[in-house]
Chain A
Amino acid sequence: MMSPPTTAERQRWMAVLARASAADLAERIAEGPALPDFVRLRGPEVGLVMMRGRAGGGGAPFNLGEITVTRCTVRAGAQTGHATVTGRDAERAELAARVDAALQDPILHDTLQTRVIAPLAEAQAAARETKARHAAATQVKFFTMSTMRT
């Protein structure tokens, strides 16, 4: 019996689920234990959220623009699962919410964590690293500017 997940733990797996594509998610879930039956409490429904970025030397926030998101909340047994994913894929949002609910179930947690979340997180980290490496190769260093700043 594990203790209930902390907010940080849950945020971590929800972030991984939100970034996973529908195909990857379905593939991983197929390898894990069967997800429990569920009822939809809200959605999946499509809406807009304002994305904010930071700009300038002081990092002042600015509104970058609105993006389309799909959110879904399900109830599976005693657990409530939430998911908000970018785009309009309702099935993906529902799947992510179901996994979030199942992960809060102490019986399913460990198996799901190793079979679904860990591989997804690994793939996402690898993809991010590849991209960062490609970007780093194109970086231009302005020697005079960097010396001036310090």
Chain B
Amino acid sequence: MSIDLPGFAAPVTDAQACFRALLDAMARPGRVHDVAAGLTAPAPLVPATAAVLLTFVDAETPLWLAPEFAPARDWIDFHCGAPVVTDIGAASFVVCDALPDLATLDAGTDESPDASATVILQVHGLTGGRGLRLDGPGLREPADLAVDGLPDDFVARWAANHALFPRGIDLILAAGHEVAALPRSLRIAEGM
């Protein structure tokens, strides 16, 4: 077991600040928020992913980790204490750097759509790269977001996820210290 790095310097206020940023990111899709000020993340996690994990993941949220993230497993075990599952369909949170097949994830039920999984996708950047045109609740006018690191067929895959509403997967995009969120209520088209 090797844990070399601390978590949040001020666990309560830092987690609250990150929670607030994610809340805003979900409510106003397309806006990029800075989280993880001062947090050093264990490779290969970026600070934004680490901050989201510290804020949301605990003993009650099964976590699925992509194999590339195995080196950060000890750190996650120690600071979050989340049960790591091998069945991606049983996970509440999924951490990956390549978008998994969203149909294999838990999309919740019509009675409790809140029980669905949230994917934390580590991307190369939230500027430049592929342009997306976002439209839906929270947006008076369609917003643009450029993401470097999404698969080519992302728009089609997202449409299938959006069609499940109110069920479906929420997506958190993390790059460096920044996060953006794509809630399931969002309609996404190719943009720019």
Kindly provide the distance from the CB of B138 to the nearest chain A CB, expressed in whole angstroms: 36
Q: Which residues of A contact B5 (CB under 8 A)?
A: 41
Interface residue? A115 (CB, 8 A): no
Interface residue? B7 (CB, 8 A): yes
Q: Are A75 and B11 in contact (CB under 8 A)?
A: no
Q: Are A80 and B6 in contact (CB under 8 A)?
A: no
**Proximity string of chain A (64-100) to chain B, C-beta cutoff 8 Å, 1 when within and 0 when not:** 0000000001010000100000000000000000000
Q: What's the interface size class on B, roughly? A: 10 to 19
Chain B residue nearest to A39 (CB atoms) is B6
A residues bordering B, Cβ < 8 Å?
39-42, 45, 73, 75, 80
Q: Are A41 and B11 in contact (CB under 8 A)?
A: no
Chain A residue nearest to B7 (CB atoms) is A42
Residues of B1-59 at the interface with A, using a CB-CB cut-off of 8 Å, are 1-7, 11
Q: Which residues of B contact A41 (CB under 8 A)?
A: 3, 5-7, 78
B residues bordering A, Cβ < 8 Å?
1-7, 11, 78-79
Q: Are B78 and A42 in contact (CB under 8 A)?
A: yes
List the count of A-B residue pairs having beta carbons below 8 Å apart. 19
Kindly provide the distance from the CB of B86 to the nearest chain A CB, expressed in whole angstroms: 27
Q: Which 7 A-B pairs have the closest CB atoms?
A: A41-B6, A41-B3, A40-B6, A80-B3, A42-B7, A39-B6, A75-B4
Chain A residue nearest to B3 (CB atoms) is A41
Q: How far is the CA of A42 from the CA of B79 in the complex (A)?
A: 8
Q: How far is the CA of A75 from the CA of B2 in the complex (A)?
A: 10
Q: How far is the CA of A40 from the CA of B4 in the complex (A)?
A: 10
9 more CB-based (< 8 A) A-B contacts, given A41-B6, A42-B78: A39-B6, A40-B6, A41-B3, A41-B78, A42-B6, A42-B79, A45-B11, A73-B3, A75-B4
**Most-contacted residue by chain B among A41, A75, A80 (CB, 10 A):** A41
What are 19 sample pairs from A and B whose C-beta atoms fall under 8 A apart?
Answer: A39-B6, A40-B6, A41-B3, A41-B5, A41-B6, A41-B7, A41-B78, A42-B6, A42-B7, A42-B78, A42-B79, A45-B11, A73-B3, A73-B78, A75-B3, A75-B4, A80-B1, A80-B2, A80-B3
Q: Which residues of A contact B2 (CB under 8 A)?
A: 80
Q: Which residues of B contact A39 (CB under 8 A)?
A: 6
Chain A residue nearest to B9 (CB atoms) is A40
Kindly provide the distance from the CB of B2 to the nearest chain A CB, expressed in whole angstroms: 8
Kindly provide the distance from the CB of A15 to the nearest chain B CB, expressed in whole angstroms: 21
Q: Which residues of B contact A42 (CB under 8 A)?
A: 6-7, 78-79
Kindly provide the distance from the CB of B169 to the nearest chain A CB, expressed in whole angstroms: 31
Q: How far is the CA of A6 from the CA of B79 in the complex (A)?
A: 24
Q: How far is the CA of A48 from the CA of B4 in the complex (A)?
A: 26
**Most-contacted residue by chain A among B1, B2, B6, B11 (CB, 10 A):** B6
Q: How far is the CA of A75 from the CA of B78 in the complex (A)?
A: 13
**Most-contacted residue by chain B among A39, A42, A73 (CB, 10 A):** A42
Q: Which residues of A contact B79 (CB under 8 A)?
A: 42
Q: How far is the CA of A70 from the CA of B132 in the complex (A)?
A: 48
Q: Which residues of A contact B7 (CB under 8 A)?
A: 41-42
Q: Which residues of A contact B3 (CB under 8 A)?
A: 41, 73, 75, 80
Kindly provide the distance from the CB of A42 to the nearest chain B CB, expressed in whole angstroms: 7
Q: Which residues of A contact B4 (CB under 8 A)?
A: 75
